[in-house]
């Protein structure tokens, strides 16, 4: 949803790769700090992020040497709802795409799918021009499909005012009723409809639900006890509460149809953590926590989840910005960018109440996760102060992951 980080978005955006690459570059990192100095700086920056308006912050950084650093800060007014901990579950938004792409590539390795399969093969008659759109195009956002999250039909679900069961097929139908953005394979443009189609293909090819596929192929084998594909608003463990501004405090830049969230009012905010994320579907309905996602990232990038050939296909990237062919890139459900501190891989996500980023190095030996428990300010670029504090914290986290803290 945000232009600073990726989410289940409805508008053009900057991805996490672009945002982090820019913010880290501007920060001019130095290498000569100790681990202790780094941890204290991270805690200070997290406190500044809360002071700038974030209801809560969770971060976990593992530089591959010693014990991971965990940072938790929250605004005092949120404590009557929940005392935030480093192990809390939270909504992952579009980080979901990395896990869904992993499922596709597992089936490719097993010979059940090929990346060159046209979507028409699996979803006959469901996608206009489906013979020309391949699974690879869906996974790397070159399919040209309109983004379903921009359709007015989704607005009541996004703000939690409507509870309906959004299946992959229903979300796909919303997206494809609009004209395509461009001819398949000719451009790159982020669209959640691509992953709605992928979700429908996975269910058709396997005869089972996305929730079961995530559970049986990734969560259980890796022992991810807090990772699941959400099919309703239910949480399975202690969770971070997510908040958005209430209607009276919503910035004027936010359109009227996104100004009135369902949920309990608190300190000029609405607690949106009880709202159903099902409208995110295969594009954004995952729930996890920082520890689980680090284990997933390590398993993925080290080759535990995918054979070498499929991992190489995932890492085959296209430029996010055609004007920067050597700049940040997008592969199959994964992003990458070079920074002065190192080249990271990962994704980000945003769904009301939850702005998340998960990154790792190429081998999966280093991992980092960040949650900021409010998101619409980034979606609509309404809070420069919060944006600046978030970028400063993200920059420090990125460099700390590579053992190169900012000073």
pLDDT digits (tens, 9 = 90+) for 224-279: 999 999 999 999 999 999 999 999 999 999 999 999 999 999 999 999 999 999 99
3-state SS assignment for residue 406: coil
Distance CA 249, CA 261 (A): 12
pLDDT at residue number 322: 87
pLDDT at residue number 232: 95
In the chain, how many H helices and how many E strands? 15, 14
pTM of the complete model: 0.94
Q: Which long-range contacts (CB under 8 A, 24 or more apart) does 321-326 make?
A: 321/18, 322/187, 322/188
pLDDT at residue number 33: 40
Q: Where are the alpha helices (DSSP H) in 244-331?
A: 281-284, 290-301, 308-314
Percent of the chain residues topping a pLDDT of 70: 90
pLDDT at residue number 15: 54
- Structure-derived torsion over alpha carbons of residues 397, 345, 99, 371, reported in degrees to the nearest 10: 20
pLDDT at residue number 18: 56
Q: What is the CATH number of domain 16-401?
A: 3.40.710.10
Collect the ranges in the chain with pLDDT lower than 50: 1-14, 27-35, 407
pLDDT at residue number 22: 56
pLDDT at residue number 183: 98
Are 365 and 299 a contacting pair, CB within 8 Å?
no
Task: Enumerate the domain spans of the chain.
Answer: 16-401
pLDDT at residue number 38: 86
pLDDT at residue number 31: 39
Cα 348–Cα 351–Cα 355 angle in degrees, nearest 5: 45
Catalytic center residues:
94
Pairing of strands 335-339, 329-330: antiparallel
């Amino acid at each position: 949803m945000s232009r600073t980080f990726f989410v289940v978005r409805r508008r053009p955006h900057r991805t996490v790769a672009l945002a982090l690459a820019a913010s880290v570059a501007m920060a001019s990192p130095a290498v000569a700090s100790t681990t202790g100095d780094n941890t204290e700086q991270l805690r200070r920056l997290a406190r500044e992020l809360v002071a700038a308006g974030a209801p809560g912050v969770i971060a976990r950084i593992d530089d591959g040497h010693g014990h991971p650093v965990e940072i938790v800060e929250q605004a005092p007014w949120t404590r009557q709802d929940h005392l935030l901990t480093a192990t809390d579950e939270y909504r992952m938004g579009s980080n979901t795409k990395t896990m869904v792409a992993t499922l596709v590539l597992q089936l490719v390795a097993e010979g059940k799918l090929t990346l060159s399969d046209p979507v028409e093969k699996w979803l006959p008659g469901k996608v206009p021009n489906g013979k020309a759109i391949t699974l690879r195009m869906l996974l790397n956002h070159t399919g040209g499909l309109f983004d379903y999250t921009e359709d007015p039909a989704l607005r009541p679900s996004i703000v939690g005012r409507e509870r309906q069961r959004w299946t992959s097929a229903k979300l796909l139908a919303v997206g494809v009723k609009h004209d395509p953005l461009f001819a398949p394979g000719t451009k790159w443009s982020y669209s959640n409809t691509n992953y709605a189609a992928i979700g429908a293909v996975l269910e058709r090819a396997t005869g089972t639900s996305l929730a079961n596929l995530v559970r049986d192929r990734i969560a259980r084998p890796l022992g991810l006890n807090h990772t699941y594909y959400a099919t309703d608003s239910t949480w399975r463990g202690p969770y971070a509460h997510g908040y958005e501004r209430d209607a009276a405090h919503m910035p004027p830049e936010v359109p009227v149809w996104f100004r009135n969230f369902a949920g309990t009012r608190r300190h000029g905010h609405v607690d949106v953590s009880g709202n159903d994320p099902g409208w995110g579907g295969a594009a954004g309905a995952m729930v996890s926590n920082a520890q689980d996602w680090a284990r997933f990232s390590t398993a993925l990038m080290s080759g535990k989840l995918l054979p070498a050939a499929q991992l190489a296909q995932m890492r085959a990237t296209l430029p996010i910005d055609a004007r920067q062919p050597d700049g940040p890139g997008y592969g199959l459900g994964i992003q990458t960018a070079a920074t002065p501190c190192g080249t990271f891989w990962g994704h980000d996500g945003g769904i009301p109440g939850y702005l998340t980023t998960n990154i790792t190095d190429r081998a999966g030996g280093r991992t980092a996760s960040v949650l900021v428990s409010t998101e619409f300010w980034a979606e609509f670029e309404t809070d420069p102060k919060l944006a600046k504090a978030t970028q400063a914290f993200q920059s420090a986290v990125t460099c700390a992951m590579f053992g190169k803290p900012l000073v």
